[in-house]
A and B are shown apart, each in its own frame.
Chain A
Amino acid sequence: MKIDNSRPLEYGTLQNRANILGFWIFLGAEIMLFGTLFAGYFTLVDRTGNGPTGAEIFEITPVMLETFILLTSSFTIGLAIHAMRLKRQKVMITFFVITLLLGLGFLSIEIYEFMHYYHVGAGLQTSAFTAILLTTLGTHGAHVTFGIVWGVLIVSQIKKRGITHETTNKSFIFSLYWHFLDVVWIFIFSFVYLKGLVS
């Protein structure tokens, strides 16, 4: 394989560049996926049937906490990539692990949140509103879960194989994914929670 040394390590080979471009296109598809969920959410948000409205069930504290944690993790994955560019393997792995732990923290709070919804009678089958709410949050949460497993695999490879064309490529793509999940969350935070609490 031809290696282009004028580019960052993760862009070094043609296959590297293809992986990154392909992933950007995939993120385009993900935008449509979440866009469709949001469209569904806005359509169904007031169709609460016999169930509760958003304002009745949302709790601001855990949501603030989730937001804070996820934003921080987006920052730490950025630091991990920065360390990767400087070829500082230990630092990179440290920030990577911190990111994943933050992701785990986010997930735990989200699980607590789901149990809360269940307790206050906002289950999946309660109304169209609760169904779309839990599906939207659940899809994002499933993405985070997937990301954590994926991240663990990448960390194990960096440990074993060091900072190579392949591992940097994978790490960089992972960081794109993680930032993307953060952006989606910001939309959820603003248009689901804040809007729901205000009205």
Chain B
Amino acid sequence: MEFFERFAVPHPSPAIYASMVAIVLVTVGIIVGLTYFKLWGYLWREWLTTVDHKKIAIMYLISAIAMLFRGGVDAIMMRAQLAQPENTLLDAQHYNEIFTTHGLVMIIFMAMPFIMAFMNLLVPLQIGARDVAFPRLNALSFWLFFVGAMLLNISFVIGGSPDAGWTSYFPLAGNEFSESVGTNYYMFALQISGLGTLITGINFITTILLFRAPGMTLMKMPMFTWSALTANVIIVFAFPVLTIALLMGTMDRLFMTNFFTTTNGGMDMLWANFFWVWGHPEVYILILPAFGIYSEIIATFSQRNLYGHKSMVASMVIISLLSFLVWTHHFFTMGQGALTNSIFSITTMAIAVPTGVKIFNWLFTLWKGKITISTPMLYTLLFIPIFTIGGVTGVMLGMSAADYQYHNTMFLVAHFHMVIIPGVVFAMLAGLHYYWPKFFNFMLNDKLGKIEAWVISMSTLLAFMPMFFSGLDGQARRMYTYSESTGFTIYNMISFVGAIGLASGFVLLVYNVYHSTRYATRNIPSDPWNARSLEWATHTPIPEYNFAIVPTVDSTEAFWDAKENGHVLYREPYTKIHMPNNSGMPFILGCIFFVWGFSFVFALWIPVLISTIGIFACLIHRSLEKDHGRYIEVEEIKKIEQAAGARR
């Protein structure tokens, strides 16, 4: 009996029972549906075993949007709980679990796959490559991320969710204060998906350094690819720190070591330091590619090349270096000396300078440009002022002395949502509308898109501006309720309305996808926005080899110059093209990793052992395997190209 008690949820509630039923129903529904329509073979051949970066991008995209809704439901529950004083919708424990999973899901399992989706789609296309350097590892990265996400999501219904905040500070996250297996889930979900992210980092740096089209020097690389390069360099240096921190945390929880305990020499602040040495750069891993997307959109819709290309690159490089030097601003108030605080205060504020450079470059580009306002551009234009509010309040938080006032209040929550929502979420939505034709071969409805952009941006202001005031008034973050006499009611009520507004904005997005899938024309040109870089130079739909002939590049805006100034992109004759074969290994390895993580969470040592052996067996198999891929012959290429050309 004790065996089954471990899997029981320690704090069950009707919502959890409802989710259990929902999960079972959806799973059964999917299985029955796939069997009924005989789709298993299709699923396996086209998706589960694919190594094509474009398909992997789509899988990241779908996961990210699903997780956006998962995290969004958490957010609405939190706002609903706080909308009224002394509300009893959620109890304290439940609230703890929700803000923890909300933060974790949004950052790791929503924002990260979103940027991975764009990196996967765009980087090979922008540099004129056939795929990434290691296509199989790329698929493995996706499956590891996916397995991490699934592990975290089942924590809700098997054994209990993590409840020590997404920062998982010890000793709060230690066995003493966090008894359920929730924090074990945290450790393994993050560890497994982090491994996938690290592999992505290595893969994309190699791709960008070695697989660029002839003539594309580093300084001729498009801005999004530059942003991906800097973000991936940050990944390679930041994620190993997380790996070790999680390893130590896991050992404390499962093997009773004393890394972060308060006895036997343990040191809880070591966790805080390691966590933020990874955690702060993580923010820039998200924001730099987002900036890259904005740069592409601004250039296209201003009909002008980006102002200050070199200073854009330089500021990204500087930001990526500085991002490693500011981590202690997350615990100014936790008892380090005034000197330390001052140093980190200064490095923190220094980041505002290169960020400001980027904002001014965008404004200068717009200044002289011929602007067309489409949905992607509207999101971009709304991003600039809202992000600036978030940025300025960040500088306020960066003043260590003043931080004693704001620390752990809603002011902080308001600040980081005001940067991360316009900075990352708007960028992803803008990119989604902009690149939708490259993902799915039709366009989203522009009118609906614009309504969406207005609803989402105005609701962001409505949801988060009041928190600045209630925070300055002293409303603490992570508090599940408050009394009426504090006077916070009105602020929280407005926030709740804003949150509902945001939710309706996202529902509108779903409606737009539905509407456009049904009614939009499939007969679209390959370059519908009159854009500037190489991803628009291929056909729509993109052939599996991306470019029949590798383009030759001699300017920063190769495609634009080919259209306007008569540069010749395709100079070589057709030759046969080498492509990798599909492989089931990444998916299988992912499944084994799931078992491995799950068994560790519950300390089931025999399955841990078996799955560990399984993982090594897969690696050994891979090492001995001989698979040289296949060739697409010239005849076939010609046929595909003719068909693609004829459709237009």
Contact = CB atoms under 8 A, between A and B. Distances in A.
Interface of A is mostly: helix
B202 A22 contact: yes
A25 B236 contact: yes
B603 interface: no
B257 A125 contact: yes
Contact of B241 (A32, A51, A129, A154): A32
B257 A40 contact: no
B237 A43 contact: no
A35 B277 CA distance: 12
Nearest to A124: B257
A186 B206 CA distance: 29
A143 to B, nearest CB: 13
Given A150-B623, A153-B620, A153-B623, A29 B198 contact: yes
A29 B255 CA distance: 26
A129 B210 CA distance: 44
Interface in A15-33: 15, 17-18, 21-22, 25-26, 28-30, 32-33
Contacts of A21: 206, 209-210
Nearest to B622: A153
B244 A36 contact: yes
A44 B578 contact: no
B259 A132 contact: yes
Given A21-B209, A21-B210, A36 B274 contact: yes
Contacts of B210: 14, 17-18, 21
A192 to B, nearest CB: 16
Nearest to B242: A36
B266 A33 contact: no
Which of A28, A36, A50, A51 has the most B CB atoms < 10 Å from its CB? A36
Interface in A33-51: 33, 35-37, 40, 43-44, 47-51
A20 to B, nearest CB: 9
Contacts of A18: 133-134, 206-207, 210-211
A44 B267 contact: yes
Chain A interface bracket (under 10, 10 to 19, 20 to 34, 35 or more)? 35 or more
Nearest to A50: B264
Contacts of B206: 18, 21-22, 25
B270 A40 contact: yes
A40 B258 contact: no
A107 interface: no
Contacts of B628: 1
A131 interface: yes
A131 B259 contact: yes
Interface string B255-269: 111110101111100
Contact of B240 (A22, A32, A124, A129): A32
A18 B207 CA distance: 8
A22 B134 contact: yes
B592 interface: no
A128 B266 contact: yes
Which of B206, B245, B266, B623 has the most A CB atoms < 10 Å from its CB? B206
Given A124-B255, A127-B258, A153-B624, A43 B202 contact: no
Contacts of A29: 198, 201-202, 236-237, 239-240
B89 interface: no
Contact of B264 (A17, A25, A128): A128
Contacts of A135: 247-248, 251, 257
Interface string A146-177: 00011001101100000000000010000000
B243 A33 contact: yes
B236 A28 contact: yes
Interface string A96-125: 000000000000000000000000000011
A29 B244 CA distance: 12
B504 interface: no
A18 B265 CA distance: 45
A94 interface: no
A33 B30 CA distance: 41
Interface of B is mostly: helix
Interface in B281-309: none
B29 to A, nearest CB: 41
A89 interface: no
B257 A131 contact: yes
Contact of B265 (A40, A48, A149, A153): A48
A43 B257 contact: no
A22 B258 contact: no
Given A51-B264, A125-B257, A131 B251 contact: yes
B203 interface: yes
Contacts of B202: 22, 25-26, 29
A126 interface: yes
A128 B265 contact: yes
B205 interface: yes
Nearest to B575: A2
Contact of A33 (B133, B240, B264, B270): B240
Interface in A41-66: 43-44, 47-51
A148 to B, nearest CB: 13
B244 A126 contact: no
B258 A49 contact: yes
A106 to B, nearest CB: 21
A129 to B, nearest CB: 6
Contacts of A43: 267, 270
Nearest to A25: B202
B241 A36 contact: yes
B244 to A, nearest CB: 4
Contacts of B265: 44, 47-49, 51, 127-129
B257 to A, nearest CB: 4
A140 B472 CA distance: 49
Nearest to A31: B240
Given A29-B202, A33-B240, 15 more contacts: A18-B134, A29-B239, A32-B237, A36-B244, A43-B267, A43-B270, A44-B270, A50-B264, A124-B257, A125-B258, A126-B258, A127-B258, A129-B265, A131-B251, A149-B616
Cβ-closest 4 pairs across A and B: A47-B265, A128-B265, A49-B264, A49-B265
Interface of A: 1, 14-15, 17-18, 21-22, 25-26, 28-30, 32-33, 35-37, 40, 43-44, 47-51, 124-129, 131-132, 135, 149-150, 153-154, 156-157, 170
Interface of B: 133-134, 198, 201-203, 205-207, 209-211, 236-241, 243-245, 247-248, 251, 255-259, 261, 263-267, 270, 274, 277, 578, 616, 620, 623-624, 628
29 contacts: A1-B628, A14-B211, A15-B133, A17-B210, A18-B207, A18-B210, A18-B211, A22-B202, A25-B205, A32-B236, A32-B238, A33-B240, A36-B245, A40-B244, A44-B259, A48-B265, A49-B264, A51-B264, A124-B251, A125-B256, A126-B264, A128-B259, A128-B264, A129-B265, A131-B259, A149-B616, A149-B620, A153-B623, A153-B624
